[in-house]
Amino acid sequence: MQRNQDTWPDDHYRELIESIYNNILTSPFVGSKRGSLDHVLLDGGHRTEALVRFTNDKFKITCPDTNEEKLWSELTEKSKAEFYQHTLDFIIYDNLTPLQEETLYFKLNNSLPLTPGEVVNGFETVPICRLARELGDHYTDKMKQFFKRGIEGQNLRADSSNLMFMLLRNFNQHKIVKGEKLTKKEELKEVCETLRDTVIDEDTLRSNVACLFRIIESKRMDDPYLLMILPTVQAIMLKHRVGLSKLEPGEIDERTAKYAYLISKFLFEIEKSTNPLNKNWQSLKRKPDDDTIKGVQNPSSPANCAKRVEIFTEWLASRE
């Protein structure tokens, strides 16, 4: 549930360690005990990261006994012993249900507003949100590599969860419900709540997402795709019944392989100004390459995704 570690500047980590040395009070760590050696951290992720980084020589502090800049391994035994003698406060809740952990997490994080992706990550008891967090972590690098503005800023864990949540909703409902990430937190909370009791087929959804990224990985363009391509490829998959059945991990069926080739070729060809369908395609972008073509305000809307599927279907028919 915790924020991505890079949402704290490096100076904050150093200041936290020096605060411990200088007996400046830090707020308590809050956790939930699930077993004798199994605790869930509900508040204190950055402070825990600071301790781990410091004792692994990731940054220097001003040494308390010499005022020199030193790594943990360079400190005197006296300074290390002094560090170990300082106490930290922990509030550990026992016998909380997962829903109670989730509720407490949201209450504890009111002081620093949650981003939309952190809202998704916080809904631990909502199956589709939990899966979005898991698959978001897994596909973060690919989403960064293949798409412009797919994942932005430093909070990769949250941003990837939000984007994956969009993809999973579309696959789960077998239509493009939303073609872009939700940015309004209250709206996102309401959507997550409505999906709390929704039964999902996790294995099939994992397979759907795996097939989607197999298709994306077949790209022929050197530049990253515009983000609108993600729901567009989903819409093509749904329209042409590609990659929607459950497959074993690593397995790829003939139809998926065929469409991976076709879609990558289509997305490459359609960008050429000489392609007869280019003007139709350009008109569905927010900022067309051709200044004489008026773009659309919301290129990732379900309606515009459907129009791009029609262009693909027309292109496909011309090849047969």
* pLDDT tens-digit readout, 283-311: 999 889 888 889 898 999 999 999 999 99
Q: Dmax of the chain from CA atoms?
A: 79
User: Do residues 117 and 162 lie in contact, with contact meaning Cβ atoms separated by under 8 Å?
Assistant: yes
Per-residue confidence (pLDDT) for residue 110, from 0 to 100 = 64
Which residue ranges in the chain fall short of pLDDT 70?
Answer: 1-9, 25, 109-113, 153-155, 250-251, 320
What's the Cα-to-Cα distance from 63 to each of 50, 72, 73, 82, rounded to whole Å? 16, 9, 11, 11
Choose among 171, 180, 182: nearest CA to 226.
Answer: 180
Per-residue confidence (pLDDT) for residue 1, from 0 to 100 = 53
Q: Which two tokens stand for residue 130?
A: 């939990």
Alpha helices in the chain (DSSP H): 10-21, 45-55, 77-85, 98-108, 116-122, 127-146, 156-173, 185-194, 202-216, 229-239, 254-269, 278-282, 302-319
Per-residue confidence (pLDDT) for residue 171, from 0 to 100 = 96
pLDDT averaged over the chain?
A: 87
- Domain residue spans of the chain: 5-97, 116-319
CA–CA gap between residue 270 and residue 168 (Å, rounded):
27
Per-residue confidence (pLDDT) for residue 111, from 0 to 100 = 58
Per-residue confidence (pLDDT) for residue 68, from 0 to 100 = 83
In 10 A of CB 306, how many CB atoms?
A: 15
- Residue 37 DSSP code: T
For 171-229, how does the pLDDT look when each residue is reduced to its tens digit (9 = 90+)?
Answer: 999 999 999 988 888 889 899 999 999 999 999 999 999 999 999 999 988 889 999 99
Per-residue confidence (pLDDT) for residue 6, from 0 to 100 = 61
- Residue 22 phi/psi, 5° resolution? -95, 10
In 10 A of CB 35, how many CB atoms?
A: 6
Per-residue confidence (pLDDT) for residue 25, from 0 to 100 = 62
Per-residue confidence (pLDDT) for residue 112, from 0 to 100 = 60
CA–CA gap between residue 96 and residue 101 (Å, rounded):
6
Per-residue confidence (pLDDT) for residue 115, from 0 to 100 = 80
> Cα dihedral angle (12, 15, 16, 21), rounded to 10 degrees?
170
CA–CA gap between residue 133 and residue 138 (Å, rounded):
9
3-state secondary structure of 302: helix
Contacts by residues 8-16 (CB-CB < 8 Å, ≥ 24 positions apart): 8/46, 8/49, 10/59, 12/46, 12/50, 13/46, 13/49, 13/50, 13/53, 13/54, 13/58, 13/59, 14/59, 14/60, 14/61, 16/46, 16/47, 16/50
Per-residue confidence (pLDDT) for residue 279, from 0 to 100 = 92
Per-residue confidence (pLDDT) for residue 107, from 0 to 100 = 77
What's the Cα-to-Cα distance from 225 to each of 23, 131, 220, 221, rounded to whole Å? 51, 25, 10, 8
